[in-house]
Amino acid sequence: MNRKTTEKETLSAERKITNRATDTDRFVGDRIRERRIMMGLSQQQMAKMIGVTYQQAHKYERGINRILAGRLFEISQVLDVAIGHFFEGLANGGLGNGLQGRQRMCLEVARNFTQIDNKDHQEALSHMARALAEK
């Protein structure tokens, strides 16, 4: 009886360790967030599209919860990228970088740009950004 209890406790502890998010999970979460913003989707919209709560989508993006392979496949379908997209840069020291201030601002600009319905306004904004970049 004692041996069975010990085995159960060991299995339970192993499950907790394997369910714990890692730096890789945080990296993948950052990549999901980047792509979602580039697509102009809110966390709520993406969560609904993949069939999870807003809170769960938030935990995925922050790397708090691990993402099962099937769910990552669904996310890749919704965000219109191959699953490998979420791991690009991981082998080249991408771990721990996260979204920095300037990168976050660029993503925000891209998201806002996609929400402009008027094509003429998009074109004008594009020309303005190009002109400012040349100075």
Q: How far apart are CA 72 and CA 116, in angstroms?
A: 29
> What tens digit of pLDDT does each residue of 73-122 get?
999 999 999 999 999 888 776 654 455 667 777 877 887 888 889 999 99
Question: Can you give the pTM of this predicted structure?
Answer: 0.63
Q: Domains of the chain (ranges plus CATH)?
A: 2-98 (1.10.260.40), 100-135 (no CATH)
**Residues linked to residue 65 through DSSP beta bridges, in sequence order:** 20
The CA-based angle 101-111-67, given to 5 degrees, is 75
Q: How far apart are CA 99 and CA 31, in angstroms?
A: 9
- CA distances to 1, 31, 47, 82, 83 from 74, rounded to whole Å, are 43, 15, 11, 10, 9
